[in-house]
Structure 1
């Protein structure tokens, strides 16, 4: 029997844990040495991935009961313009090289997206190992990561604040309290369930430390996750819900002036840190971070909050999707004065033309309609561009998780 005929697609179960882990480590070239560098043993990482098989939707191709290709979809939720969306987090994507170029991953992705649609996960996120590959599958960049490097003599001067900072265990409950409040207020952010928190901590160094800012009423308003190594203060995440907490946490960082030579960290917005510093001549680099794709345009639009207006508005567009037939064709969006939208099929074929990637990044406000029109990704009249600019809210997507 030929290899193609032997292959069968099926759902992975906890009994497939070892094979699942072996394929992940092979594809991502994770060695035992790499694991020991972050304090992991092979058995520990295998057991750590068990919740994935128990809680996520994991499918793969088997050749005579041998797992040869796989992907996993996490059941997550994200906030998009103050609306909570069920999101399918795509991860664990891999195929052994001897089974490459057989279309196995393409079929797995189509099935995974169909399953997401069935589960009402109208949006999917992923961290791309190859931006061009996932763009061909309909995903597009929707968030950035900014890395900064601040020398010790550039650290901000201490500002007077009413609260105080306490160093605590990284599992302290107030970290989750602050993050939840922060996530609900920030566009595109993850609402972290237990599975999401597990992935968030997975690869951390053993000496990670947490510091929480409490205001004068003893309410947690921000936190800092960090470690110090070779006189460098490394920031994993800095989260705050107001400016007082931001100042308080930077006071804490600056208090390490005599201990460190520099501070290195990441932020996940378009706002440069340099502007907030007296000495703004710091090193900052911006790189694309996460990608997303609309899984079901009708489901997604039904939840999407367009900006309110004095008059109802109508937008017709022809949509192309490289994988999903239910996202292809002519659609018309009817938006009420309150910003509530409904989507129907049909309309003027020549009104607007765009693909699923462009629609996704535009509705996330990562790239605006005017820019997308100028670079040829959004084909429509200038009047339509102006209407879309007025319909779509403007806010920078924030996403700091990794899975």
Structure 2
């Protein structure tokens, strides 16, 4: 790129005073229409006001041409559960460039700055919802979770489990018991967002909250153990999300859904984990789709490895990591455990070698894909002994992530 392609351009922060330009750029790039905003339950001007807290809480940077914002991204501060340990996470969002300024590497520079910012704020992992998987793969992100949708006919609904000890109550979607149930769920489900109020606001951003209902399952001790967020329209029972902390709650919630048998012809819904519903149904011949959902990227390999909850101490091993954007992630990262089982991360090539890029390392440690599979498709290079070691020390649980930002 020639130097004059950036003549008159500069990088500087985007502040809440720039909210209108921030929203206008997003609306143009993603073609969000006034009709879509209206159908989400917003009246004129409400969406901009609703997005202001996100802009205030996030760190937003952009390329400016004079007073015109032409390219931008935001780092949305979040917390997530990674195999039982809470990590600070930098959510990359609000990404966009006006087409007349595309092709000049503007976003490349913004993403590099965003990674530096996350590192400075000890956000060792980053999530994003990709508008282009290839684009973000080139920058080191990789798929870490799936979004399944299902369509169950009324005749295929699971038979009610009799004599359930608990019961379901219909409540407002922001009832404290809904929040508390999700909090416990998130702390026990790898990958999940630990939601604060701003995260909940974003969770409902493109929904008409007035039409959504929460069905909460209470056990025999009146403790909330699960919920289904839903609405009914045109003889379809729509499930936005079903969360349960016990299998009893799962059965109780499906009893509740099945109790609508006479009112609906289909139940359509979402599952945010690669856990197909058909196996749980007597008639498993249902329509299901699976799509990649969120992507993740390790921001700082050394710090992420130090905090990562490996299953148990094992033999030494080292990663030889490549990274297209973060030079601090390029090199050797050795793992060894002392006599007390304490993990140490070193820049020495201890034990077996694993040659891997940052995207593959991320999806592997997020347990979206196992080491043996990644070796089979040649996404990493390592000896059979090294692969077996990785299989032992990396937890098995697949990620669950149902948020959007």
Q: 1:126 to 1:336 in 2, by over 3 A?
A: farther
Contact 1:225 1:237 (8 Å CA) reproduced: yes
Secondary structure in 2 aligned to 1:239? Answer: strand
Q: Deviation per CA, 1:50-96, whole angstroms, max 9, x where unpaired?
A: 01221011111110111001001111000111111000001110000
Displacement of 1:334 after TM fit? Answer: 1.6
Do the aligned residues in 1 keep the contact of 2:317 with 2:350 (CA within 8 Å)?
A: no
Match of 2:291 among 287, 293, 297: 287
The runs of 5 or more residues in structure 2 that have no matched partner are: none
Q: 1:346 aligns to what?
A: 348
Query: Does structure 2 retain, via aligned residues, the 8 Å contact 1:306–1:339?
Result: no
Give the Cα–Cα distance (whole angstroms) in 2 for the partners of residues 302 and 317 of structure 1.
13
- Judged with a 3 Å threshold, the aligned counterparts in structure 2 of structure 1 residues 202 and 401 are, in CA distance, closer, same or farther, namely same
Q: Tell whether 2:69 aligns with 1:75.
A: no
**3-state SS of 1:120 partner:** coil
1:273 aligned to 2:277? yes
Contact 1:308 1:337 in 2 (8 A): no
CA offset at residue 341 of structure 1? 2.7
> 2:43 matched to 1:41?
yes
Maintained 8 Å contact 2:154/2:265: yes
Contact 1:306 1:391 in 2 (8 A): yes
Partner residue of 1:234? Answer: 238
Q: Could you say what secondary structure the match of 1:210 adopts?
A: strand
Deviation at 1:335, TM superposition (A): 3.2
* RMSD of aligned alpha carbons: 1.6
Residue 338 of structure 1 deviates from its aligned partner by 6.9
Aligned residue in 2 for 1:316: 318
Aligned to 2:160: 158
Q: Which of 200, 203, 225 in structure 1 is aligned with 2:206?
A: 203
Q: State the match for 1:219 in structure 2.
A: 223
- Aligned-partner Cα distance in 1 for 2:126–2:182: 21
TM-score (norm 1): 0.97
- Higher mean Cα deviation, 133-142 or 386-395? 386-395
Q: Deviations over 1:146-181 (max 9, x none)?
A: 111100011111113111111111110111100000
Secondary structure, counterpart of 1:395 in structure 2: coil
* Residue 247 in structure 1 maps to residue 251 in structure 2: yes
Contact 1:141-1:291 within 8 A present in 2 as well: yes
* C-alpha deviation, 1:337, in angstroms: 6.6
Other-structure match for 1:325: 327
Whole-Å Cα distance in 2 between the matches of residues 247 and 86 of structure 1?
34
Structure 1 stretch 341-350 or stretch 47-56: which is displaced more? 341-350
Do the aligned partners of 2:5 and 2:104 also contact (CA within 8 Å) in 1? no
Q: Are 2:377 and 1:375 equivalent residues in the alignment?
A: yes
Alpha-carbon separation, structure 2, partners of 1:202 and 1:158: 34
Tell me which residue corresponds to 2:108: 106
Matched position secondary structure for 1:313: coil
Query: Could you report, residue by residue, the CA deviation over 1:353-390 in whole angstroms, capped at 9, with x for unpaired residues?
Result: 11001100111111111111111111011111111111
SS at match of 2:24: helix
| Stretch of structure 1 that moved more, 360-369 or 330-339 | 330-339
Q: CA deviation at 1:349?
A: 11
Deviating more after overlay: 348-357 vs 195-204: 348-357
Q: Tell me, what secondary structure is at the counterpart of 2:45?
A: helix
SS of the aligned residue for 2:7 comes to: helix
SS of equivalent to 2:251: helix
- TM-score normalised to structure 2 length: 0.96
> What does residue 389 of structure 1 align with?
391
For the structure 1 residues 255 and 327, does the alpha-carbon distance in structure 2 shift closer, same or farther, using more than 3 Å as the test?
same
Distance 1:386 1:211, change over 3 A: same
Q: What is the aligned residue count?
A: 401
Alignment of 1:50-199 (within 5 A): 50-159=52-161, 160-199=163-202
Question: How far has the Cα of 1:3 moved from its partner?
Answer: 5.8
Deviates more, 1:335-344 or 1:64-73: 335-344
Distance 2:230 2:341 in 1: 41
Give 3-state SS (helix, strand or coil) of 2:92's partner: strand
Q: How far apart are the structure 1 equivalents of 2:351 and 2:6?
A: 40
